[in-house]
């Protein structure tokens, strides 16, 4: 099926084209938001601006990530793409060595200033088309992760609890728009909650003026009881609590009438089943089988058969119960609502059935407007932040450590994570609400393939840049709606 005739190559000197046709629309949004000025006013790392300013370095690294770059060396390819530089209105961009030197100039205060400069432009989006995404309740999620490295001479790295050398950044994100509000690099042995309260407070200050109501979420590491009273006076929160002796004793002492059966929301499961059904029907129709669209029988569970055959310990959830009671942590001046989740788990080894196991999970919250089931569901929805962290690691490549010490790698993480935030900002400019939500939840690689990776001819004149797209993309209508909205909106 794959054939070839005579092949010849020519270099067209009169044709200025690039494969990154969507980068101009993204850069237009960034400049109209005033991010360039915010960065130049907040950062003062260069004594002389010949020819670059701080914003040139930051956006150069960010756009390298947005154009699929995974290494600093990938900037070299963009430097030789004249159409790419014309799309950005640039005559020259920093080379990889200069970009690395720029990151090494950062001190801790400079990284914080950069994050605040980025945060300074967010309210313009939240007050516009992004306002409906915040909705009646904005959720601020916090979590830590491990960034491994095989390097031996990277200052500030340490060994994590699971014996992995690297760093342990803290990510504070806005669940409604998937934006990373604060990203803080720390040594690998730092616990997840280390200095988390400081950055959570900053996130509250940032989001609270633009949302009717704010709710904090985090796992058990972020149940910082010393801060509960202060947070409760400003916002709501839902945190996991450790299964300590005091809580477990209270839960075990509850009468059986206090417990109610937990019924998980089956919406997501039904949607998954329907999608699988549609895919099965499509596949069967494509092969000429089962043209009536009947669902074929579910395949055997091979994992389950192997576990039973080899006599491994097998745990299966039978049912879940929930109950509520009030509890006052030792560092608090008031009591809070605690939702206890009791899981009944059957244990078996091969064909032998063992005694059932009961496990307790606890959630502490200020939310009295939710039922116990809804509190559990709200706490579980925080797990969606793991998708953001996974995107920062694999899709964006922001959680990499290409430089030599903790602070310079922190600066690179913040700059690269800006590419993820710009994706959310660009999605907010789309006309239809459904498109805005879809593109905010979209994986970064798919956003790159649909919005950025578009072949285009670039014509640069004195006061205008013309992008002539020379390839069809089904997502062009979304690109045009976002671009039109950007041109028509007056920010500031």
DSSP character string of 64-92: HHHTT--SGGGHHHHHT-HHHHHHTT-S-
- Whether the bond between 120 and the residue before it is cis, its omega within 30 degrees of 0, is no
Residues 170 and 226 in one domain: yes
Residues 27 and 62 in one domain: yes
Residues 65 and 104 in one domain: yes
Tell me the residue range of the domain where 469 lies.
Answer: 17-118+402-488
Count how many residues are written for the chain.
492
How confident is the model over 405-421, as pLDDT tens digits?
999 999 999 999 999 99
Would you say residue 369 lies in a domain?
no
Q: What CA–CA distance (Å, rounded) separates 414 from 170?
A: 11
User: Using an 8 Å Cβ cutoff, are 55 and 36 in contact?
Assistant: yes
Of the listed ranges 3-7, 95-99, 108-112, the least confidently predicted one is 3-7
Residues 21 and 111 in one domain: yes
- pLDDT given at position 284: 42
Predicted confidence band at 387 (pLDDT cuts at 50, 70, 90)?
Answer: very high
Predicted confidence band at 50 (pLDDT cuts at 50, 70, 90)?
Answer: confident
SS3 272: helix
Q: What CA–CA distance (Å, rounded) separates 258 from 325?
A: 9
How confident is the model over 341-384, as pLDDT tens digits?
999 999 988 888 888 899 999 999 999 999 999 999 999 999 99
User: Using an 8 Å Cβ cutoff, are 227 and 339 in contact?
Assistant: no
Of the listed ranges 50-54, 170-174, 191-195, 280-284, the least confidently predicted one is 280-284
Other C-beta atoms lying within 10 Å of the C-beta of residue 150: 8
Would you say residue 449 lies in a domain?
yes
Would you say residue 226 lies in a domain?
yes
Q: Record the pTM.
A: 0.89
Q: How does the average pLDDT of the chain come out, rounded?
A: 90
| Helices of type H across 316-405 | 372-381, 385-390
Residues 142 and 207 in one domain: yes
Taking the CA atoms of residue 63, residue 65, residue 67 and residue 69 in that order, the dihedral angle to the nearest 10 degrees is 130
Would you say residue 294 lies in a domain?
no
Residues 95 and 183 in one domain: no
Residues 162 and 83 in one domain: no
Mean pLDDT, rounded, for 86-111: 95
Residues 108 and 152 in one domain: no
Beta strands in 160-256 (DSSP E): 165-167, 170-174, 179-184, 214-218, 236-241
- pLDDT given at position 267: 52
Residues 80 and 163 in one domain: no
Of 341, 364, 395, which residue is a domain's last? 395
Structural domains in the chain (count): 2
Which phi and psi angles does 78 have, rounded to 5°?
-70, -30
SS3 408: helix
Of 340, 370, 395, which residue is a domain's last? 395
Would you say residue 359 lies in a domain?
no
Residues 74 and 148 in one domain: no
Would you say residue 52 lies in a domain?
yes
Of 395, 418, 438, which residue is a domain's last? 395
Would you say residue 316 lies in a domain?
no
Residues 112 and 36 in one domain: yes
Would you say residue 366 lies in a domain?
no
Residues 433 and 484 in one domain: yes
- Count Cβ atoms within 10 A of the Cβ of residue 343 and give its class: 0-12 exposed, 13-18 middle, 19 or more buried: middle
How confident is the model over 238-285, as pLDDT tens digits?
999 999 999 999 999 999 999 999 998 765 444 434 444 344 433 344
């Amino acid at each position: 099926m794959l054939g070839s005739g005579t092949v010849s190559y020519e270099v067209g000197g009169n044709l200025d084209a690039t494969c990154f046709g969507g980068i101009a629309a993204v850069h237009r949004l960034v400049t109209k938001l005033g991010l360039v000025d915010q960065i130049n006013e907040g950062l003062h790392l260069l004594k002389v601006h010949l020819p670059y300013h701080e914003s040139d370095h930051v956006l150069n690294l960010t756009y390298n990530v947005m154009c699929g770059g995974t290494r600093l060396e990938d900037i070299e390819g963009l430097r030789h793409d004249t159409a790419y530089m014309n799309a950005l209105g640039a005559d020259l961009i920093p080379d990889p060595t200069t970009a690395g030197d720029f990151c090494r100039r950062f001190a801790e205060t400079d990284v914080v200033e950069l994050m605040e400069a980025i945060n300074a432009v967010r309210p313009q989006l939240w007050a516009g088309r992004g306002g409906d995404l915040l909705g009646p309740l904005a959720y601020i999620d916090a979590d830590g992760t491990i960034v491994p490295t095989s390097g031996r001479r990277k200052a500030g790295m340490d060994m994590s609890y699971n014996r992995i050398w690297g760093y342990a950044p803290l990510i504070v994100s806005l669940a409604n728009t998937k934006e990373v509000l604060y990203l803080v690099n720390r040594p690998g042995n730092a616990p997840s909650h280390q200095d988390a309260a400081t950055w959570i407070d900053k996130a509250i200050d940032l989001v609270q003026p633009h949302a009717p109501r704010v709710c904090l979420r985090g796992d058990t590491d972020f149940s910082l009881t010393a801060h509960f009273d202060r947070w409760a006076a400003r916002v709501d929160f839902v945190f996991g609590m450790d299964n300590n002796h005091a809580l477990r004793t209270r839960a075990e002492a509850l009468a059986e009438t206090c417990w109610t059966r937990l019924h998980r929301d089956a919406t997501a499961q039904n949607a998954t089943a329907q999608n699988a059904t549609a895919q099965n029907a499509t596949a069967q129709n494509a092969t000429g089988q089962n043209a009536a669209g009947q669902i074929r029988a579910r395949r055997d569970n091979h994992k389950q058969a192997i576990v039973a055959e080899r006599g491994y310990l097998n745990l299966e959830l039978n049912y879940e119960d929930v109950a509520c009671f009030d509890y006052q942590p030792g560092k608090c001046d008031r009591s809070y609502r605690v939702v206890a989740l009791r899981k009944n788990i059957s244990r078996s080894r091969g064909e032998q059935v063992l005694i059932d196991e009961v496990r307790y999970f606890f959630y502490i919250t200020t939310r009295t407007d939710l039922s116990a089931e809804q509190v559990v569901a709200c706490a579980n929805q925080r797990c969606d932040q793991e998708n953001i962290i996974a995107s920062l690691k694999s899709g964006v490549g922001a959680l990499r450590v290409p430089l030599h010490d903790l602070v310079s790698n922190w600066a690179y993480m913040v700059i690269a994570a800006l590419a993820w935030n710009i994706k959310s900002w660009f999605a907010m400019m789309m006309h239809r609400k459904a498109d805005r939500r879809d593109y905010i939840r979209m994986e970064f690689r798919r956003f790159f393939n649909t919005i950025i990776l578009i072949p285009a001819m670039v014509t640069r004149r004195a006061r205008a840049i013309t992008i002539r797209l020379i390839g069809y993309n089904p997502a062009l209508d979304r690109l045009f709606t976002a671009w039109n909205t950007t041109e028509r909106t007056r920010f500031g």
